A = this chain, B = another copy of it.
Amino acid sequence: MNYPGKIKKEYNKYTSYANRGMDLEELINQSNEYYLESDIAVIYKKPTPITISEVKYGTKERIITKAYFRTPSTLDYNGIYRGRYIDFDAKETLNKTSFPLQNIHEHQLLHIKRVIAHGGIAFLIIYMNGTFYYLDGNNIINFIDNNKRKSIPFEYIETNGYIIEQKIKPRLDYLKIIDKLYFKED
C-alpha cells in the first residue's frame, strides 16, 4: 500500500540514494516541479485517496478528524508530456533478485492496460539494487501475461528497463527515456 507513513519508514532505511535523506516520492516531486517550471511537462502526484468520515469546524478552517486510507485504483502520477498522456507509479524494493508483484494492485495493472490501449504512456519507476529503472507498461503487461511468477526477476528489469539518470535538475530525468522510446530520440 502506498501510505505516506509506511513509505517514510521504509525509505529511512536506505542509505544508498545519491540524494541521501530524500525519499523516492520527493525525488519525483522535485523532478516534476522542474519539468513544470521549465515548461517541459505538466505532471502531478495525485493526492492520497482517502474516505473522509468526520469533519469538524475549527476557528479558521475545517479539520478532518476521522478518515480512512483507500486502496488506489490508478497510479500515483499522471499528466501530459509532448502531447502524450503519461501515467506512472514509483516503487522500490529491498529485494535484490526480484521485484514482488504484490507491489502493484490488480486494478493498477488493469489501469496500465487501459491507459496503453487508449494511446497513453504507462510505466513504473523502480528503485532496486541502488539504481532507478524505467520499466515500460508494455513490458510489465507482457511479463505478467507470459509468466505465472509472483515477482519480476531483476534480470528482466535490467534487460527490458532503462536506467534513469540522476542529475541536479531534474533529480530523476525519466522523461529522457520517454523521448527515446516514444519519440525516437537519443
Q: Which residues of chain A in 31-81 are interfacial with respect to chain B, using CB atoms and an 8 Å cutoff? A: 36, 39, 41-42, 44, 46-50, 52, 55, 61-70, 73-74, 78-81
| Given contacts A5-B62, A69-B62, A115 and B80 within 8 Å (CB-CB) | yes
Q: What distance in Å separates the Cβ of A122 from its nearest Cβ neighbour in chain B?
A: 10
Q: What distance in Å separates the Cβ of A160 from its nearest Cβ neighbour in chain B?
A: 24
Residue of B whose beta carbon sits closest to that of A118: B80
A64 pairs with B62, CB closer than 8 A: no
Rounded to whole angstroms, the CA-CA distance of A180 and B24 in the bound complex is: 42
**Number of chain A residues whose Cβ lies closer than 8 Å to a Cβ of chain B:** 43
Binary contact readout A145-182 vs B (1 if CB under 8 angstroms, 0 otherwise) = 00000000000000000000000000000000000000
B61 pairs with A64, CB closer than 8 A: no
Write out the residue numbers on chain B whose beta carbons fall within 8 Å of the beta carbon of A115.
Answer: 42, 80
B-binding segment of A11-19, A82-90, A93-101, A128-136: A82-90
A64 pairs with B63, CB closer than 8 A: no
| Given contacts A65-B65, A68-B64, A83 and B118 within 8 Å (CB-CB) | yes
Write out the residue numbers on chain B whose beta carbons fall within 8 Å of the beta carbon of A39.
Answer: 114, 117
Residue of B whose beta carbon sits closest to that of A49: B47
| Given contacts A39-B117, A80-B120, A115-B80, A64 and B50 within 8 Å (CB-CB) | yes
CB<8 Å pairs between A and B, sample of 5: A39-B114, A47-B70, A50-B67, A62-B69, A83-B120
